[in-house]
């Protein structure tokens, strides 16, 4: 479990402290898929970085399983347990070839050669990159690059993975590839997933959505409940697709539409069945 206990984080600047996350209490379990949404500057990235100890709380604490992220001796163990995938894969890719890149993390863990090779093969397969082992990362498409960044994280065998707007530079097909990996991670591998996104169509695929406004949690619940909460949708500046809005409205009228319906096709399918 990644547990936030009364967590406040302030950036210290020359002009004084800037609060970014205020008084957050919540937990994300293994196998849980949690989306984090909110307007620009609402504290999503700060929240994400607090999960893996990249930032540590100004007040309160973040505990990963039994490790307090403020504990300097636990830093590397926390980073190994909580993977992080950034918006821009170029900031995360370090290897001269796809396989070297995916091997970078496990090599730093000092694992035996055979174990590293097995992890790399597994991570490349999970991200659909098998066959590209010898390719140069900079020659990959944006979608492939982002999947390589994810492969590098998965090769560490993390218990949790935090994605900070990891689909925002990708086209629709690239986003769908990443979303499919995210869903498999949570549902088949039992990894805890935190997906920071500004896309409602992505957030509704999670088990649970946490909405941040000015650093505070103003919504924490199922996607369908969020879409039915006009006040929360507006405070979170969410751009709800028409099909999601219609689905939410139909639900309030007692028509059973499954959560996650966010496209006209899915809506037609749900009404048809």
Ligand X SMILES: Nc1ncnc2c1ncn2[C@@H]1O[C@H](COP(=O)(O)OP(=O)(O)OP(=O)(O)O)[C@@H](O)[C@H]1O
Where is 221: in which H helix or E strand? strand 216-221
Q: Which residues contact 17 (CB under 8 A, 6 or more apart)?
A: 10, 11, 58
Q: Applying CB under 6 A, which residues contact ligand X? A: 11, 13, 18, 20, 38, 40-46
Which one, of 71, 59, 55, lies nearest residue 23 by Cα?
Answer: 59
Q: Which residues contact 183 (CB under 8 A, 6 or more apart)?
A: 33, 205
From the CB of 44, what's the least distance to Mg ion, in Å? 5
In terms of CB distance, is 45 or 146 closer to ligand X?
45
Per-residue binder mask for Mg ion (CB under 5 A), 217-256, x = binder: ----------------------------------------
What are 94's two structure tokens? 């370090």
**Site residues for Mg ion, window 42-101 (CB under 5 A)?**
44-45
Q: In the bound complex, which residue of the shown chain has the CB atom lying closest to Mg ion?
A: 45
- Measured distance CA(151)–CA(94) in Å, rounded: 12
Q: Are 126 and 161 in contact (CB under 8 A)?
A: no
From the CB of 86, what's the least distance to ligand X, in Å? 11
233 three-class SS: helix
**Site residues for Mg ion, window 19-48 (CB under 5 A)?**
44-45
- Measured distance CA(22)–CA(70) in Å, rounded: 17
From the CB of 76, what's the least distance to Mg ion, in Å? 25
In terms of CB distance, is 44 or 119 closer to ligand X?
44
From the CB of 18, what's the least distance to ligand X, in Å? 4
Identify what 38 binds: Mg ion, ligand X, none; CB under 5 to 8 Å per kind. Answer: ligand X
Interaction site with Mg ion (CB under 5 A): 44-45
């Amino acid at each position: 479990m990644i547990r936030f206990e009364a967590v406040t984080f302030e950036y210290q600047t020359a002009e004084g402290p800037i609060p970014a996350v205020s008084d957050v209490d919540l937990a994300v379990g293994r196998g849980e898929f949690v989306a984090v949404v909110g307007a620009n500057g609402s504290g999503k990235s700060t929240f994400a970085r607090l999960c893996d100890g990249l930032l540590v709380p100004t007040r309160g604490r973040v505990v990963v399983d039994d490790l307090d992220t403020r504990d300097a001796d636990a830093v590397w163990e926390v980073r190994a347990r909580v993977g992080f995938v950034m918006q821009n894969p170029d900031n995360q890719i370090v290897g001269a070839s796809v396989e070297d890149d995916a091997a970078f993390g496990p090599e730093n863990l000092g694992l035996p050669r055979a174990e590293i090779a097995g992890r790399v093969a597994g991570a490349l397969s999970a991200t659909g990159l098998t066959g590209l082992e010898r390719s140069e990362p900079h020659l990959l498409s944006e979608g492939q690059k982002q999947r390589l960044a994810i492969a590098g994280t998965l090769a560490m065998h993390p218990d949790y993975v935090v994605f900070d707007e990891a689909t925002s530079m990708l086209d629709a097909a690239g986003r769908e590839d990443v979303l499919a990996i995210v869903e498999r991670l949570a549902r088949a591998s039992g990894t805890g997933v935190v997906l920071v996104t500004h896309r409602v169509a992505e957030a509704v695929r999670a088990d649970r959505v946490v909405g941040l406004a000015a650093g505070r949690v103003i919504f924490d619940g199922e996607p369908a409940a969020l879409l039915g909460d006009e006040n929360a949708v507006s405070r979170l500046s969410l751009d709800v697709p028409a099909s999601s809005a219609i689905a939410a409205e139909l639900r309030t009228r007692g028509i059973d539409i499954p959560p996650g319906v966010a496209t006209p096709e899915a809506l037609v399918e749900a009404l048809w069945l």
